[in-house]
Amino acid sequence: MTSEIHQYTGTDIVVRWDETRCIHSERCLKALPTVFDRAQEPWVQANASTADEAAAAVEQCPTGALQYRRLDGGREELPDATPSMVARPPGPIIARGDLQIETLDGEKVSTPRAMLCGCGVSANRPFCDGTHRDTVLGASRS
């Protein structure tokens, strides 16, 4: 699946959102609702907080769908020094580090965070799309 990337440019930071990798965990909305608000258009208001606050909220995105680039010379996100992968059966594998991922259609993705499909039912493999929640496997976790 080809990425659908949107950029939201503020004075001090550019927030990048890859909607094909977003599983709507809503960590960004909870972390910084002044910047991330689905009721607004656009839903990302890059100037609604400091660049440091926006960057910290983006780094909470478990899928890597949100990333940023600083325009003010501030600290850029550094991947975890030691790569890690943690399985969360029946669903995703949470990966962190200096990740280089090749998709099924050959696209190369460099990211510090990713949520990979661990159940085999994602339509966006190798990335998790949350489909496991709607399967018998996901229902058995309750």
Structural domain of 41 = 5-70
Whether residue 97 sits in one domain with residue 61: no
The answer to whether residues 40 and 92 belong to one domain is: no
Q: Which of 72, 40, 42, 74 is nearest to 59 (CA)?
A: 74
Q: Are residues 65 and 9 in the same domain?
A: yes
**pLDDT tens-digit series, residues 23-62:** 999 999 999 999 999 999 999 999 999 999 999 999 999 9
* Whether the Cβ atoms of residue 85 and residue 62 lie closer than 8 Å to each other: no
Is position 77 within any domain? no
Question: Are residue 65 and residue 100 in the same domain, yes or no?
Answer: no
- What's the whole-model pTM score? 0.86
Indicate which CATH number applies to the domain containing 65. Answer: 3.30.70.20
Is 64 in the same domain as 24? yes
Q: How far apart are the first and last CA of the chain?
A: 30
